[in-house]
Amino acid sequence: MATEPSVEDLLDALDAVAADGWYPAVDVRRPWSTANPQITGEFARPDAIRPYLRRELAALMKAGADVSVRASRPALRFDDPAFFDALDEDRVDLRTKKLFLFGPERMALSLDRLAHYTGTPAERFQRHILFTNYAMHVESFRERFPDAEGPSRPGVQMPAWHHAAPDGTGVSLVNIGVGPSNAKTITDHLAVLRPDTMVMIGHCGGLRNHQALGDFVLATAYQRADHVLDEVLPLDIPVIPNHRLNTVLLDSLDAASARYRLGVVHTTDNRNWEFNQRRTLAMMKSARCIAVDMESATIAANGFRYRIPNATLLCVSDKPLHAEFKLTAGARAFYEASKRHHLDIALTALDRVRRDYPDGLPNQELRAADEPLLGADQTR
Domain locations in the chain as residue ranges? 7-85, 111-363
What is the pLDDT at residue 277? 85
Contact 204, 291 (CB under 8 A): yes
C-alpha angle 283-176-198 in degrees, rounded to nearest 5: 80
Identical fold, 7-85 and 111-363: no
Contact 188, 44 (CB under 8 A): no
Please name every residue paired with 25 in a beta bridge, in sequence order, or none if there are none. 42, 70
Q: How far apart are CA 254 and CA 276, in angstroms?
A: 37
Distances (CA, A) of 100 to 42, 70, 194, 254, 376: 8, 16, 10, 38, 10
Instruction: Say how many CA atoms lie within 13 Å of 354 toward its Cβ.
Output: 17
- For residue 347, what is the enclosing H or E element? helix 328-356
Hey, is 100 helix, strand or coil? Answer: coil
Hey, is 276 helix, strand or coil? Answer: coil
Q: At what angle do helices 180-190 and 296-305 cross, to 10 degrees?
A: 30
What is the pLDDT at residue 209? 87
The CATH homologous superfamily of the domain defined by 111-363 = Nucleoside phosphorylase domain (3.40.50.1580)
What is the pLDDT at residue 167? 94
Q: How far apart are CA 174 and CA 89, in angstroms?
A: 26
Q: Check: CATH 3.70.10.10 for 7-85? A: no
Q: How far apart are CA 341 and CA 46, in angstroms?
A: 37
Contact 323, 219 (CB under 8 A): no
What is the pLDDT at residue 379? 46
Q: Of 98, 106, 87, 133, whose CA–CA distance to 190 is shortest?
A: 106
Q: Is 297 exposed, middle or buried (0-12, 13-18, 19+ CB in 10 A)?
A: buried
Q: Which long-range contacts (CB under 8 A, 24 or more apart) does 12-18 make?
A: 13/69, 14/43, 14/46, 14/47, 14/53, 14/69, 15/46, 15/47, 15/50, 17/69, 17/70, 17/71, 18/43, 18/44, 18/45, 18/46, 18/47, 18/75
What is the pLDDT at residue 195? 97
Q: What is the pTM of this model?
A: 0.92
What is the pLDDT at residue 373? 72
Hey, is 6 helix, strand or coil? Answer: coil
Q: How far apart are CA 160 and CA 328, in angstroms?
A: 26
What is the pLDDT at residue 368? 66
Q: At what angle do helices 328-356 and 243-255 cross, to 10 degrees?
A: 120
Tens place of pLDDT per residue across the chain (380 aa): 456 789 999 999 999 999 999 999 999 999 998 888 999 999 999 999 999 999 999 999 999 999 999 999 999 999 999 999 888 877 665 446 678 889 999 999 999 999 999 999 999 999 999 999 988 899 999 999 999 999 999 999 999 999 999 999 999 999 999 999 999 999 999 999 999 999 999 999 999 988 988 899 999 999 999 999 999 999 999 999 999 999 999 999 999 999 999 999 999 999 888 888 889 999 999 999 999 999 999 999 999 999 999 999 999 988 876 555 555 555 566 666 677 899 999 999 999 999 999 999 887 776 665 667 776 655 44
Q: How far apart are CA 161 and CA 181, in angstroms?
A: 21
Q: Of 266, 305, 261, whose CA–CA distance to 286 is shortest?
A: 266
Q: Of 154, 176, 172, whose CA–CA distance to 162 is shortest?
A: 172
